[in-house]
Each structure stands twice: as structure tokens, then as C-alpha cells.
Amino acid sequence: MAFDLLTGFVRDVRAARRTANEIERLNRMNDGELAQLGLVRTEISGHAFRKHFNQR
């Protein structure tokens, strides 16, 4: 059981890191580039969290 908690924690830390990197990458894009992805700037965080935390 403790091992499952530890692996879950590590998995969440990795997902958080990927989410932060995705947010940073998307924030560097201009509005036109975001539009090509079907995003507006206000949707960046939600998009990144869904992408990396809803994979389970």
C-alpha cells in the first residue's frame, strides 16, 4: 500500500512537471498559433491540466 502511494505521488509530480512545461510552451505562442490549435489564451491552463492529468 505504501508503495502504491509513493508511485502515485511520483506520477503526479511528473504530470505536474509536464503540465508546467506545456503551459510555458503555450504561453510563448502568439494568438494566431494558439488559434491553429483551437485554443485562446484563457484556455491554456485548463487545456494543459486536462492533457496531463486526465490520461489515467
So where are the chain's domains?
30-56
Give pLDDT, residue 55.
Answer: 61
Q: Over 1-56, what HEC string results?
A: CHHHHHHHHHHHHHHHHHHHHHHHHHHCCCHHHHHHCCCCHHHHHHHHHHHHHCCC
The pLDDT score that the predictor gives to residue 3 is 76
Q: What is the pLDDT of residue 46?
A: 96
Could you tell me if 5 and 13 are in contact, meaning their C-beta atoms sit under 8 angstroms apart? no
Mean pLDDT within 4-15: 93
First to last CA, the chain: 19
Q: What is the dihedral of CA 24, 29, 30, 31, to 10 degrees?
A: -80
* Residue 56 confidence (pLDDT) above 70: no
pTM: 0.83
Across the chain, mean pLDDT equals: 94
